[in-house]
Amino acid sequence: MTLQLDERQRAMLAEMGIKLWLPKAAPATPETVAASADQAGAGARFDSEPVQPAAAAPSIARAAAAPSSPRPRPVAPSEGATPAPESRSAMALGPRPEGVADMDWLQLEATVAACRACGLCAGRTQTVFGVGARSADWMVIGEAPGENEDRQGQPFVGQAGKLLDAMLAAIGLSRQVESASESIAARADQAGAEGQKGLKRGVYIANVLKCRPPGNRNPQPDEIAQCEPYLRRQVALVQPKIILAMGRFAVQSLLQTTEPIGRLRGRVHTYEGVPVIVTYHPAYLLRALPDKAKAWQDLCLALEVMGGQDGR
């Protein structure tokens, strides 16, 4: 697949720090990408690890290893309103709510806001549920809220979020719900996959964890396990045609693997029947400039997969 980029998209790629050598080279075949990916490092948890772009980061024990929780009684959404900061340390944990797999958006969002199923509830300002078009074809899955996200209640609002938005814009996607209305999406279809004329298709963005780990530490397996049903339900409700998994915690927990990102990129995986493209976390890319080109290859692969699905 050859991408025709207009000036605006070229500017966005420049903003991402990507030089335009890519479309001329054979784009992102699984073989070529996997070969270079093996030398590349896995994504690092944002702000928390020194970056060594050429070295593989250690893999983590996954949620798969975590014991499954007993089926506890349901938690009414009203039970768990966000506490005042001074009362946080006294906050008691509760069971993981039942019935998540059958919830609608309203119930799910309220249940997440009230969740006390792991210790992260004690330190959060608020839960970070997700943002964007709830019927989008594209879904981005990140790791966990950071400080800014915890404060604002939206995923990817810091510097990493800016880079993510630039990456998405470069392939004609926007988290702005109004850009993703039916008529705009139809016009974007006419304009082509690259969203020429500034029209963008919607994307839904969520994280594996809905609460901020203190000090931006790595998510723990038990936290991922407790939160996992929420993300699973979000995916079921959105019914995306493709998932971009960003960063090793997102990737490894979706794919239930301990393989590093460098070895998972360049192929199409699946989660709940949805194609998954693995790529680096934007926060990692902010510090590992050479890997931005690889992230662009990943986006090209995702476009290719989408092109195969709906002709775009």
Residues 6+ apart with CB under 8 A from 91: 83, 116, 121, 122
Minimum Å gap between C-beta 234 and ligand URA is 14
Contact between 46 and ligand URA by CB under 6 A: the answer reads: yes
Contact between 247 and ligand URA by CB under 6 A: the answer reads: yes
Taking the least distance from each CB to ligand URA, the nearer of 3 and 173 is 173
Taking the least distance from each CB to ligand URA, the nearer of 28 and 211 is 211
Minimum Å gap between C-beta 177 and ligand URA is 17
Binding mask 142-181 for ligand URA (x = CB under 6 A): xxxxx--x-----xx---x---------------------
Minimum Å gap between C-beta 281 and ligand URA is 6
Taking the least distance from each CB to ligand URA, the nearer of 80 and 213 is 213
Minimum Å gap between C-beta 155 and ligand URA is 3
Contact between 207 and ligand URA by CB under 6 A: the answer reads: yes
Alpha-carbon distance of 300 to 235, in angstroms, equals: 22
**Stretch of 22-30, 58-66, 138-146, 296-304 lying at the interface with ligand URA (CB under 6 A):** 138-146
Taking the least distance from each CB to ligand URA, the nearer of 3 and 286 is 286
**Contact residues for ligand URA (CB under 6 A)?**
46, 142-146, 149, 155-156, 160, 207, 247, 283
